[in-house]
């Protein structure tokens, strides 16, 4: 489980980059690969698209949907930051 502090820091980072939640399209899809039956039955994989940059991220690092939401946003912000520099 991702702590509230980490979510708050992520929100600050999004604000610094002028990224709003309305700019993100988020979908939950069934996972695939290793992870057992629960992974294949639960829509815990996160598909995240940042519409202005057309950046797409798919994250299934964890069995937890909430953790994957965090990891997808973190990955998107890292890629956007690299493109800015």
- The domain ranges of the chain are 4-84
Stated pTM of the model = 0.89
Are residues 10 and 70 in contact, defined by beta-carbon separation less than 8 angstroms?
Answer: yes
Q: State how far the Cα of 75 lies from the Cα of 34, in Å rounded to an integer.
A: 21
pLDDT digits (tens, 9 = 90+) for 46-81: 999 999 999 999 999 998 999 999 999 999 999 999
4-84 to CATH, choices 3.30.160.20, 3.40.390.10, 3.40.50.410, 3.30.450.20: 3.30.160.20
Specify the higher pLDDT residue, 45 or 83: 45
């Amino acid at each position: 489980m991702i702590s509230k502090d980490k979510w708050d820091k992520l929100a600050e980072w999004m604000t610094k980059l002028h990224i709003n939640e309305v700019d993100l399209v988020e979908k939950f899809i069934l996972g695939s690969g290793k992870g057992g039956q629960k992974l294949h039955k639960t829509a815990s994989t996160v598909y995240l698209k940042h519409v202005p940059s057309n950046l797409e991220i798919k994250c299934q690092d964890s069995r937890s949907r909430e953790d994957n939401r965090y990891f997808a946003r973190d990955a998107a912000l890292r890629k956007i930051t690299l493109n800015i520099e």
